[in-house]
Structure 1
Amino acid sequence: MYTAVLIKGKTYSVMGHVFLLNQEKEIEKKVFQYLNGNEFFDCKQLDVPADDPKTDEEEPQQEEKIYTEAELKGMNKTEQEAIVIDLGGDPSQLKDKSERIAYILEHQEKAGE
């Protein structure tokens, strides 16, 4: 089992998780690997009992969240930028909310193919 705590900033959205400052969340291995080493997070891998049959199994791949335009419009800048980063983009290259939304809609379709 893995956990992460946002220690800098107010909110952070990544891989379908929304982190709030100083609130610990249980996360998947994939998210742990992505966030571990990020200065904004305190990530921990908790010990799994030796008799747990899941220890030798690969965790199931989670489907990437597909956001609708309405969902994206309801998000704040930080949440949209986190999604852009998840999709391999650079939020500093996008001028405003409409460009971030257009980028996300376009690139999440490509990622799902």
Structure 2
Amino acid sequence: MYTAVLIKGKTYSVMSHVFLLNQEKEIEKKVFQYLDGNDFFACKQLDVPADDLKTDDQPKEAEEEPAQEAKIYTETELKDMKKDGQEAVIVDLGGDPSEFKNESERIAFILENQQQQEKVGE
């Protein structure tokens, strides 16, 4: 069993989970592997089976690389998102969702920062 607690920001949406500040939530292994090491979360693995210890190390490292690559959202995808989803993307990009007054400002920030991160990643 795995749990995660959002310790920074107000909300965070990832893989069909919406996290609220300081609320512990039970998550799947895949979500745990994605969030473990993220400064915005405190993640725990409970009841570690002995046979799971050997298999966790290799796949986790292999899966961390793709997790580092952020999804690139189109303007249409962002407009279809709810506010908490947009705020989660802003947090992923290192922004503070409370700085934005409306959807247009959130979307503009996300699109601009995605482009900057693409250039840095090249």
TM over 0.5: yes
Contact 2:75–2:107 (8 Å) recurs in 1: yes
Is the Cα–Cα contact under 8 Å of residues 6 and 20 in structure 1 kept in the other structure? no
Query: In the alignment, is the contact (CA less than 8 A) between 1:6 and 1:12 conserved in 2?
Result: no
Q: Secondary structure at the match of 1:73?
A: helix
* 8 Å CA contact 1:5, 1:25 repeated in 2: no
Is the 1:69–1:101 contact (alpha carbons within 8 Å) kept by the matching residues of 2? yes
Partner of 1:32: 36
- Gaps spanning 5+ residues in structure 1: where? 38-42
Percent of aligned pairs with the same residue? Answer: 40
**In 2, Cα distance between equivalents of 1:76 and 1:44:** 28
Match of 2:112 in 1: 106
1:13 aligns with 2:13: yes
Q: 1:94: which partner in 2?
A: 100
Q: Between Structure 1 and Structure 2, how many residues are aligned?
A: 101
- Where structure 2 has 5 or more consecutive residues not aligned to the other structure, the ranges are 20-24
Aligned mates of 2:110, 2:77 — CA distance in 1:
11
Higher helix share: 2
